[in-house]
Amino acid sequence: MSTPPGWEGILDEGEEILWQGRPGQGFHFGAGNVVSAIFGLFFAGFALFWMVMAASADGPFWMFGLIHFSVGIALSAWAIYGNTWKRRHSWYTLTDRRAFIATDMPLKGKTLKSYPIGPTTVIDYRAGPPATINFAEEFKRGSKGRSYKVKVGFERLENGAEVMREVRRAQEVDETMIRESA
């Protein structure tokens, strides 16, 4: 079988694509985003209050609050629209050996990450619609240098049960993939 166009040099010899798709493109505002959005609004609100008070004094001193006001609005906007924006720039591919998550973010560029799928891979399936299938974990670094674990997977899938069947198929052991050590 030949390698599909665009996958040359990415797929291993004999690796076969089982499924390709995208996360749900619709707007979604989850409970986890509420705290960040409220914090951003309080930040912007305090900056606005400070600018109004500083404007009562003569001079352009009040303009120093504009940066804080803008940051607060940006924090709120990202909490509300950020995940939807990321999903709209993401694509998923599942092969008989790996799961791929591709992104094409403006200003950040294209990325392609692959995660091995095998018999010992722990799969976390949350039925939907929309469904989510997590198959890996990554460590992220927080603002204070601390690291935390995040789940990685295919999010907000309309056809989650179908994709889960393909993931289970990818987990099956293929005798040709087993390497014997000497």
**pLDDT, tens digit, 9 for 90 and up, residues 144-177:** 888 889 999 999 999 999 999 999 999 885 555 4
* Burial (CB count <10 Å: 0-12, 13-18, 19+), residue 150: exposed
Can you give the length of the chain in residues? 182
Query: How does pLDDT run across 116-147, given as a tens digit for each residue?
Result: 999 989 999 999 789 999 999 999 887 788 88
pLDDT of residue 2: 64
The confidence band for 182, taking pLDDT boundaries of 50, 70 and 90, is: very low
* Burial (CB count <10 Å: 0-12, 13-18, 19+), residue 23: buried
Report the C-alpha gap between 16 and 36 in whole angstroms: 41
Query: How does pLDDT run across 20-78, given as a tens digit for each residue?
Result: 999 988 787 777 788 889 999 999 999 999 999 998 888 888 888 999 999 999 999 98
pLDDT of residue 173: 58
Question: Omega of the bond prior to 106 within 30 degrees of 0, cis?
Answer: no
Query: How does pLDDT run across 100-115, given as a tens digit for each residue?
Result: 999 998 888 999 999 9
Q: What is the phi/psi pair of residue 158, to 5°?
A: -75, -35
Domain boundaries, the chain: 31-85, 101-174
pTM across the whole model: 0.77
